[in-house]
């Protein structure tokens, strides 16, 4: 039998252990919410419901809707790198995306920022959706200059550049982040696919199926919507640097590839690229060793800073080198506008689903989209 003195000692010990457990737990919670970011991916611990869903998104019961907190067939999210100041433009884009599509599918949103999100930003977004929303801050070393960059040379380029966003340092940090780091952010680690979203864009048409599921079922790796050609002064040496990469790593290039889309018959650069402000991507593409090697090669060359290489031509060159045409999908049916260009599906004028004029905006009858149709 325990004496009362022993009982006191045992109960004190238990109390001490309980307090210790509580402290450790609180520490973990605090650590995970550090920098207003949750360290857990949305899908951590979820099984995949993929096989229960039909080709166009309906589930086994024929339902075409997923509940906000429920299992989704694809581990996917809508992702934006965004500034607090872009709240209004982002709200407008999300309102449309929700009304056109996501109010039924309830895919989660992930927002990333180089600065902590304000509570106004977070509330302003959460007010628009019943889907899960996560906010994260960028990991150290993923925003800014790598050690080997000559910052004086970079400054000179900014001071003399006469192309759009040429003077901007943060724009270059943004392009480098979107090219090499977004897919490595802890909040994205359990995602299979992402759909990139941006402020100030419009979604013109109802989307009556699940594009993530469509891509997964059809083994598609990259989905695009607008494909212009890049402004040459921003990518002066990008093609030569890419050719150098291919020469050094021939084994990484797909046998059936899409290089004819980015390379003219005389070997010069077509500058064709998918406009990455809209892209739906199987993230295994960006996580692959060949993509990493390509990014490292470009990053070492310094063109993010000595020129103004964008993530759009870089993603597109990767698609051209590493994928074949059957893995790339043109989302012709998604009406979309980003300042300066738009895509309006044919037949929209008379369709009840869209609110755009196919005669206006970007046309897929010419240029890089036409070229796309001719490559095999």
Ligand X SMILES: Nc1nc2c(ncn2[C@@H]2O[C@H](COP(=O)(O)OP(=O)(O)OP(=O)(O)O)[C@@H](O)[C@H]2O)c(=O)[nH]1
Q: Which residue, 162, 284, 165, 296, is CA-closest to 241?
A: 296
Alpha carbons 294 and 321: distance in angstroms, whole number: 10
Letters for 186-215 (x = contact with ligand X by CB under 6 A, - = none) are ------------xx----------------
At 348, is the secondary structure helix, strand, or coil?
Answer: helix
Alpha carbons 77 and 366: distance in angstroms, whole number: 32
Segment interacting with Mg ion (CB under 5 A) among 35-43, 51-59, 223-231, 273-281: 273-281
Total of residues contacting Mg ion (CB under 5 A): 2
Q: Which residue, 130, 123, 140, 137, is CA-closest to 105?
A: 130
Q: Is 198 in the site for Mg ion (CB under 5 A)?
A: yes
Q: Is 116 in the site for ligand X (CB under 6 A)?
A: no
Q: What is the DSSP letter of 203?
A: E
- The one of Mg ion, ligand X, none whose footprint includes residue 113, by CB under 5 to 8 A per kind, is ligand X
* CA 256, chain centre distance (Å): 25
Q: Name which of 57 and 223 has its Cβ closer to Mg ion.
A: 223
**How far apart are CB 307 and Mg ion at their closest, in Å?**
19
Residues that are catalytic: 279
Specify the residue for token string 């611990």.
45
Beta strands in 28-167 (DSSP E): 76-81, 109-113, 133-137
Report the residue from 114, 157, 190, 260 that binds ligand X according to the rule CB under 6 A: 114
Letters for 153-172 (x = contact with ligand X by CB under 6 A, - = none) are -----------------xx-
**How far apart are CB 338 and Mg ion at their closest, in Å?**
6
Q: Name which of 157 and 198 has its Cβ closer to Mg ion.
A: 198
Q: Is 33 left (phi over 0), alpha (psi -120 to 50) or beta?
A: alpha
Q: Name which of 213 and 312 has its Cβ closer to Mg ion.
A: 312
Q: Is 96 in the site for Mg ion (CB under 5 A)?
A: no
Give yes or no for a contact between 300 and 266, defined as CB atoms under 8 angstroms apart. no
Q: What is the DSSP letter of 59?
A: B
Q: Which residue, 198, 175, 256, 230, is CA-closest to 78?
A: 198
Q: Name which of 137 and 262 has its Cβ closer to ligand X.
A: 137
Letters for 62-91 (x = contact with ligand X by CB under 6 A, - = none) are ------------------xxxx--x-----
Residues that bind Mg ion (CB under 5 A): 198, 277
Residues that bind ligand X (CB under 6 A): 80-83, 86, 113-114, 170-171, 174, 198-199, 277, 339
């Amino acid at each position: 039998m325990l004496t009362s003195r022993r009982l006191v000692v045992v109960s004190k010990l238990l109390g001490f252990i309980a307090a210790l457990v509580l402290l450790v737990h609180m520490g973990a919670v605090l650590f995970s919410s550090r920098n207003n970011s949750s360290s857990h991916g949305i899908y951590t611990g979820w099984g995949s419901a993929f096989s229960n869903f039909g080709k166009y998104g309906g589930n086994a019961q024929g339902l075409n809707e997923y509940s906000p907190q429920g299992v989704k067939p694809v581990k996917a999210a809508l992702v934006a790198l965004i500034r607090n100041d872009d709240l209004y433009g982002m709200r407008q884009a999300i309102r449309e995306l929700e009304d056109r599509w996501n109010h039924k599918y309830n895919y989660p949103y992930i927002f990333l920022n180089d600065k902590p999100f304000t509570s106004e930003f977070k509330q302003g977004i959460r007010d628009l959706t019943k889907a899960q929303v996560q906010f994260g801050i960028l990991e150290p070393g993923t925003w800014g200059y790598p050690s080997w960059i000559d910052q004086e040379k970079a400054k000179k380029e900014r001071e003399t550049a006469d192309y759009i966003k040429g003077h901007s340092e943060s724009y270059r940090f943004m392009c480098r982040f979107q090219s090499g780091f977004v897919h490595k952010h802890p909040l994205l680690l359990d995602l299979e696919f992402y759909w990139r979203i941006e402020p100030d864009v419009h979604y013109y048409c109802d989307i009556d199926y699940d594009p993530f599921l469509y891509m997964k079922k059809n083994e598609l790796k990259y989905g695009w919507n607008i494909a212009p050609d890049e402004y040459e002064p921003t990518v002066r040496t990008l093609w030569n640097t890419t050719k150098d990469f291919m020469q050094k790593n021939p084994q990484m290039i797909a046998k059936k590839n899409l290089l004819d889309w980015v390379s003219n018959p005389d070997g010069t650069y077509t500058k064709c690229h998918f406009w990455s402000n809209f892209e739906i991507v199987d993230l295994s593409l960006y996580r692959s060793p060949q993509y990493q090697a390509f990014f490292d090669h470009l990053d070492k060359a310094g063109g993010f800073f000595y020129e103004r290489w964008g993530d759009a031509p870089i993603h597109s060159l990767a698609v051209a080198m590493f994928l074949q045409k059957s893995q790339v999908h043109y989302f012709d049916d998604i009406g979309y506008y980003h300042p300066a260009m738009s895509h309006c599906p044919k037949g929209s004028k008379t369709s009840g689903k869209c609110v755009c004029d196919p005669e206006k905006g970007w046309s897929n009858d010419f240029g890089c989209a036409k070229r796309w149709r001719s490559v095999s």
